[in-house]
Amino acid sequence: MADLFETQAEIYAKIRPKYPREWFDRLAALTQHHGVAWDAGTGNGQAAVGLADHYDRVVATDVSEGQLKQAAPHPKIRYLHTPISMPEDDLVALLGGESSVDLVTVATAVHWFDLQKFYPVVERVLRKPGGVVAVWSYGLIRVCPSFDPIVRRFVDTTLPFCNPNIRLVAEEYRSLPFPFDSVGVGAEGQPVALEMKTEASFEGILQLMRSWSPLNTAKKQGVDLLTPEIMEELEKAWGGPSLIREVTFPSFMIAGKPRTPATLTEG
C-alpha cells in the first residue's frame, strides 16, 4: 500500500488541510501524562507537529519513505520508517517498549492499516492506566451550492478505481472496528463529528483532488478522470480561477483507552 502514496508525497505536504490546534488540546487533556506520543501513519508529519506542542517526545512512523522525506523537521519529533514487514516485537521496542506511550494518533490513515496487526501494538505500547488512542479522518469537501454537486458527481466516476478501504471513510468510520473503551470522544460505531475550515484557490482544490488515491490508481491504468471538461465545469462553479473560497472538511474522530478486564469479560 505504501507505493500508493509515494508519487504524490510532495502534493500531500503542500495541500492537505492542517488539523486544528483545538483537536490536539482536547486529546492532550485526556492523557494523564505527556511524555511520549506516537503518530502512526504520519505521512508528512502534520499531526506530529500538533502533538509536539503537548508531549515531550513524538515518535512519527510511516511505511512510506517518500512521505517521510516531506515531513517537517522538529526538535521533538523522531521520524521513523516502519516497513509493513517489521515484526511486532521490533516495532514495540522501537516505540519505547510496553506501556511507554501516552497518546497514539492516526490522522487520515487508519483505514489503510492492517488493524489485526496494528491494534495489538497499540494495546502493548499504551500506558496503563492513562493512555489514549485517537483516530480521525475527513470526508468530501463542501464549498458552495453550485460547486458541491459537481464534486459529488465527479466522485461517482472514481468509484471503479477506489480501494475497498475507502468505504470506511465514506461511512465516516461508523463501521471501523475500534476495540477500546470510550473516553468521551466518540466510540466504536459512533464517531464524533468535527470540522476543519481553510481558504483555498481553485488550483489548490485541483491539486487536492489530484492527490486522491482513486485518481492515481486510474492514471496508472491509463485513465485520466480529471478531464478538461470536468475541470472547466468545476472552475465555472467555483467562480473563476482567481477566486479564494472558504472550504469545509467535514471530519470525524474516535478516541479510546485500553479496555479493562471487566469489559473484555463482558464482551
Task: Name the stretches of the chain with pLDDT < 50.
Answer: 1-7, 9, 13, 265, 267
- State the Cα–Cα distance between residues 194 and 252, nearest whole angstrom: 5
Q: How far apart are CA 25 and CA 226, in angstroms?
A: 38
Could you tell me which residues are beta bridge partners of residue 135?
A: 106, 254
Q: Which residue is listed with cell 489548490?
A: 204
Residue type, 25: D
4 close to 213: Cβ distance less than 8 angstroms? yes
Q: Please tell me the predicted confidence (pLDDT) of residue 262.
A: 52
Domain boundaries, the chain: 2-140+165-196+250-257
Q: Is the preceding peptide bond at 261 cis, omega within 30 degrees of 0?
A: no
Helices (DSSP H) in 188-267: which residue ranges? 202-210, 213-220, 228-238, 261-266
Spatial neighbors of 222 by CB under 8 A, at least 6 apart, are: none
Q: Are strands 244-257 and 192-201 parallel, antiparallel or unpaired?
A: antiparallel
Q: Which CATH number fits domain 2-140+165-196+250-257: 3.30.750.200, 3.40.50.150, 1.20.140.10, 3.40.50.300?
A: 3.40.50.150
Q: What are phi and psi of 200, to 5 degrees?
A: -145, 155
Give me the torsion for CA of 212, 213, 219, 224, rounded to 10°: -30
CA atoms of 90 and 238, how far apart (whole Å):
49
pTM metric for this prediction? 0.90
Kindly give the interhelix angle for 148-158 and 213-220, rounded to the nearest 10 degrees.
50
Inter-residue contact 110 to 137 (CB < 8 Å): yes
Look at residue 18 in the predicted model and tell me its pLDDT.
Answer: 86
Quick one: pLDDT at residue 80? 97
Residue 122, C-beta contacts closer than 8 angstroms, at least 6 positions apart: 104, 133
Distance CA 65, CA 32 (A): 32
